[in-house]
Every structure is written in structure tokens, then in C-alpha cells.
């Protein structure tokens, strides 16, 4: 009923197509990416992040790998950020100072 919403739906649906009873999204580079459920997407991210060949990369790089392998789901980036934040190994070896805090020392003027 809302004309603005109808135009938005028509504009967004141009990048989606159905082939062999599966939904695909055409990416910016004109490659078709298979749309997966968020649960399947999170499993794909876990496999890329900490699977057999996983290297505990950051959120952007694991989402980029998932998209390059032909998968798509709308919440991919937020799922990847949550995965990296919950990963104990990533948090332990993150670029943080692991030295204990010391008291400040005054430097005498000479």
C-alpha cells in the first residue's frame, strides 16, 4: 500500500534471483552468491575462523572469505564481530599490552 516502500522493495529485489530452487544474490562484481540462513552462515564463519585451516583472522577478512566463496546472508558482518569477540584465543593474543601496570616514577632534573 505504501508507494515508497514498494519502490524500495522493487529496487532491492533486482539483485536477487532464483536458480534451481535456491535464492542467489548478485554481488557488485556480478558473481552470484548463494543465500544461506543465518545459522548456516555462522557455521561457515566458525569453519573459516577456527576450522582445520583456520587462522583466527579478524571479522572483515573472514566475512570477505565467506563472500568470495559464494555465500551471502545479511547479518554476516555482525555475526563475524560477535564470533571474534567471543573467541578466547583471539582475545588472549590480541594487540594488547600484556605487561603488568607499574607505578609512575619521577625523573629528577639534572
Q: pLDDT tens digits, residue range 43-102?
A: 999 999 988 777 888 899 999 999 999 999 999 999 999 999 898 888 777 676 656 777
* Model confidence at 29: pLDDT above 90: no
Q: Does domain 12-87 have CATH number 1.10.340.70?
A: yes
Burial-class residue 25 by CB neighbours within 10 Å (0-12, 13-18, 19+): middle
Work out the pLDDT band at 18, boundaries 50, 70, 90.
very high
Tell me the whole-structure pTM to 2 decimals: 0.74
Cα 80 to Cα 22: distance, rounded to the nearest angstrom: 24
φ and ψ at residue 78, rounded to 5 degrees: -65, -35
Which pLDDT score is estimated for 53? 76
Amino acid at each position: 500500500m505504501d508507494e515508497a516502500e514498494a519502490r524500495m522493495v522493487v529496487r532491492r529485489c533486482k539483485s536477487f534471483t532464483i536458480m534451481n530452487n535456491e535464492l542467489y544474490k548478485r554481488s557488485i562484481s556480478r558473481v552470484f552468491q548463494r543465500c544461506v540462513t543465518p545459522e548456516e552462515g555462522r557455521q561457515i564463519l566458525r569453519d573459516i575462523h577456527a576450522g582445520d585451516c583456520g587462522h583466527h583472522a579478524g571479522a572483515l577478512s573472514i566475512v570477505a572469505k565467506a563472500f568470495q566463496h559464494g555465500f551471502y546472508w545479511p547479518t554476516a558482518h555482525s555475526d563475524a564481530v560477535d564470533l571474534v569477540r567471543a573467541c578466547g584465543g583471539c582475545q588472549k593474543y590480541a594487540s594488547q599490552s600484556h605487561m603488568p601496570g607499574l607505578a609512575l616514577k619521577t625523573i629528577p632534573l639534572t
